[in-house]
Amino acid sequence: MGWTDERVETLKKLWQDGLSASQIAKQLGGVTRNAVIGKVHRLGLSGRAAPSKPARPAFKAPRPQRAVAAPAAPRRILESAPMAAAPVS
């Protein structure tokens, strides 16, 4: 479906209302999110009333504090016994 003057005006209004490109594409029908983004870019629309917000706010429970690990004990270097010389026969 092409961009008629009526659809362009609807696009401008919805964009200024803060709807996302996906939401606008669904309302207009027959266009993709990328088509809406391209048309907005070509029209030079940049300012928006407010960014679109999710339908309900996402709540994240605070994470528990990490236990502080005790510093690791220093590694021991095992000293090997001196190698005995092989008997010469």
pTM above 0.95, yes or no: no
Instruction: Give the pLDDT band of residue 11 (cuts 50, 70, 90).
Output: very high
Asked if 11 contacts 28 with a C-beta cutoff of 8 angstroms, the reply is yes
Which sign does the torsion angle of CA 66, 70, 71, 73 carry? negative
Which has more pLDDT, 74 or 8?
A: 8
Helices and strands, counts by H and E, the chain: 3, 0
What ranges do the domains of the chain cover? Answer: 10-43
Q: pLDDT per residue over 43-65, tens digit each? A: 998 766 555 566 676 777 888 88
Structure confidence at residue 52 (pLDDT): 59
